[in-house]
Chain A
């Protein structure tokens, strides 16, 4: 009889013992190996801000939209476009150039010369090279005194705006990505398109 009680008590004590220690374990103690993912898929590390899948979705849409603009697709010559930095009015600090860089790359890949971008962000280096040619320090295949830097036909720019709600039910972030193609001569907005992304999340109660 006493032996039966002892066994029971031993079991209870052991259970208590392991309850105390068992949850000391670390989630993924061996870490998580590097997982290669497509930039347009949602990863297992996610926030409510601007992420790669948003960038891909938004810029793909914009590039397709620009290619369909009559002033681009049916232009007599090849229109020249200058990128004007995106305005970030959201609550998320971002590398603003990344949107226009991807749109430019997409168009250069897919537009087959229907549109050309001017490297205005490289003007300092280009002017230095021209000056070297003018001064005769380096050779030139054409008259360096003739200005050949092209002017822009269009400006491509955009604005990111956001709305945030944070309550005990979680955080909600809505971002409106709006891009415009502006005629440099007339200031007409010849094309505009937008994309909207809304995300919500709730942190563990331990952080609330």
Chain B
């Protein structure tokens, strides 16, 4: 009985450790998001579904598979839009004994904004600029929880809101005025050209990645690998349009301000630390009492203190304050845009990406063969430095 008791007491931390570190690695991933994404969505943890939908949608955009991107983005946006109220996984994530990654992933605001931005591009591609505008507006709302001066401060979302209003017979002045008032480290887009019928949505660089710092990795941080691409040049017909970034996702990710969850994780970290210190103190004092006292009562008190200390250590070990670092990892660093007026018929456009010295990164140049329709509907082109080339639109 005595041996059994001690064995159980010693096994308990290992058992709890097993509970705390569930491994949900998806076997057989290839590194090709268009293969891995659908597989992860099908067999991976449901809480990561939106994450894989985001990643797969971006991969599909790069590959020019727009129907696939639409399908995944629609599912993901339905999840974002229906997140109100009680959520069992979110409640778990707030608890002491589960990590933040237990919650259903919907991403940080910059990730949610990008889901809306991409869906907006695809709506415009389908000749629905009003639904595109709806997405851009929802994107700005997603960013509105940032601290005041950085709230709803995506330049392109406001700019495109105004352009879509003009395209649908409305007035884009109000949206353009918002662009003018925004503070940004980059030059702002030009005044609207209502007759421009071909829209180029261009992006480049590696977007922000998440990591955690702090004693228990309870602090969410972002790092953005330096991009060798700093600008782009769009060449179509006799035009050469230099394009710098209008929006910077690294800037957006790091100007979000504090999260409520950061306070919860900080409290968890304090609890973990306190229970560990209390456990240490109880174990040491219990051991001392048990070793020095010769009578039965003293031994019992010592053992009791040790048991309480061990329990406290177990609780400390089971407390999981780690921040959620699941990340939409195939986002770009910079977003830019150009609207061009082209005659109906076939055209070939190229997008050159340039480094900080203005040198063309020839291996990244993209060619787009596009056919501009004679209808009022805009021709929409999406180009990333990761896009396949040539692209036929």
Contacts and interface: CB of A to CB of B under 8 A. Distances in A.
Note whether A and B form a binding pair.
yes
Contact of B134 (A8, A20, A93, A168): A93
What does DSSP make chain B's interface, helix, strand, loop or mixed?
Answer: helix
Given A10-B5, A16-B12, A205 B94 contact: yes
Contacts of A207: 83, 87, 90, 103, 106, 261
B230 interface: no
B130 A88 contact: yes
Contacts of B168: 87
A205 to B, nearest CB: 5
A128 interface: no
Interface in A115-172: 164, 166, 168, 170-171
B119 A93 contact: yes
Q: Counting chain B CB atoms within 10 Å of each CB, which of A8, A19, A20, A24 scores highest?
A: A20
Contacts of B203: none
Given A5-B303, A91-B137, A47 B81 contact: yes
B16 A21 contact: yes
A206 B259 CA distance: 8
Q: Counting chain A CB atoms within 10 Å of each CB, which of B131, B299, B303 scores highest?
A: B131
B294 interface: no
Say which size band chain B's interface belongs to.
Answer: 35 or more
B12 A203 contact: no
Contacts of B300: 1-2, 5
Interface stretch (B194-202, B310-318, B348-356, B363-371): B310-318
Interface in A160-204: 164, 166, 168, 170-171, 201-204
B93 A9 contact: no
B385 interface: no
B86 interface: yes
Contacts of B304: 5, 8-9
Interface string A76-93: 000000000001111111
Interface of A: 1-2, 5-6, 8-10, 12-13, 16-17, 19-21, 23-24, 26-28, 45-49, 87-94, 96, 164, 166, 168, 170-171, 201-208
28 contacts: A1-B296, A2-B303, A5-B300, A9-B5, A13-B310, A20-B314, A23-B95, A46-B85, A88-B134, A89-B170, A92-B134, A92-B138, A93-B128, A94-B134, A96-B131, A164-B141, A168-B260, A170-B84, A201-B85, A204-B86, A205-B94, A205-B260, A205-B264, A206-B93, A206-B100, A206-B261, A207-B87, A208-B145
Interface of B: 2, 5, 8-9, 12, 15-16, 19-20, 22, 81-95, 97-98, 100, 103, 106, 119, 123, 128, 130-135, 137-138, 141, 144-145, 168, 170, 259-261, 264, 296-297, 299-300, 303-304, 307-308, 310-311, 314-315, 318
